[in-house]
Amino acid sequence: MDFKQRILEAAAKVYAEVGYRGATTRRIAAAAGCNELTLFRHFGSKATLIHEAVTCCGPELKLFPLPEEPVDPATEVREWAAHHFKNIRTHAGMIRTTLAEIEEHPELVRPSDPYAMAYEQLAAYVARLQASGRAEPSLDPMAAAAMLLNALLLNGILRDVMPHVILNSPEHDLDNFVRVFLRGIGADVPSRT
């Protein structure tokens, strides 16, 4: 691992544990095994360092694919949702911290960040299903996308801190969320095997 990546990973870990205010440059430098001056040389400011750490070490930097021409919505949405759900669960601590900090530090999440773009990506897929007659034409594609993504997000970030409330396995909940989403948009839902 290169030195800059080591700093970013240390910053991400410290930020996820103690938030923006608690993630002092001194604490990050200690975790990265360098001095504060090195942090400023590489990143210029704490704000830049934290944003890059959240971007680099947080949820995936790429959008997971959904086909331009839907063929099998149940499989396509299930695979897409599984990628997002795994990503959310992997980075649950950082996402919880970011949500807690977002009002004070809105720069931590930008409209161009992949998770924000996932709403538009799924909404566009729903619109393509509508155009092909495979989804209810009167529904709002963005509302449908939010229904699924918000369920994945909340379940994914609360699963490890509320095990007495979220009792089903991740796979069980994922399957149910996708099935409810497909029913909600009027798409075919395969029978359970």
| Tokens linked to 26 | 């001194």
What pLDDT is recorded for position 91? Answer: 86
Q: What is the 3-state secondary structure (H, E, C) of the chain?
A: CCHHHHHHHHHHHHHHHHHHHHCCHHHHHHHHCCCHHHHHHHHCCHHHHHHHHHHHHCCCCCCCCCCCCCCCHHHHHHHHHHHHHHHHHHCHHHHHHHHHHCCCCHHHCCCCCHHHHHHHHHHHHHHHHHHCCCCCCCCCHHHHHHHHHHHHHHHHHHCCCCCCCCCCCHHHHHHHHHHHHHHHHCCCCCCCC
Which value, in Å, is the radius of gyration of the alpha carbons in the chain?
A: 19
In tens digits, the chain (193 residues) has pLDDT values of: 688 999 999 999 999 999 999 999 999 999 999 999 999 999 999 999 998 888 777 666 567 889 999 999 999 999 999 999 998 898 898 889 988 988 998 888 777 777 778 899 999 999 999 999 999 999 999 999 999 999 999 999 999 999 999 999 999 999 999 999 999 999 999 888 6
Closest CA to 67 of 153, 128, 7, 138: 128
What pLDDT is recorded for position 166? Answer: 96
Name the amino acid, one letter, at 114: P
What pLDDT is recorded for position 53? Answer: 87
What pLDDT is recorded for position 54? Answer: 83
What pLDDT is recorded for position 1? Answer: 64
pTM: 0.84
At the fourth CATH level, which superfamily is domain 3-57? Homeodomain-like (1.10.10.60)
Residues 64, 83: contact at Cβ < 8 Å?
yes
What pLDDT is recorded for position 110? Answer: 72
Enumerate the domain spans of the chain.
3-57, 73-185
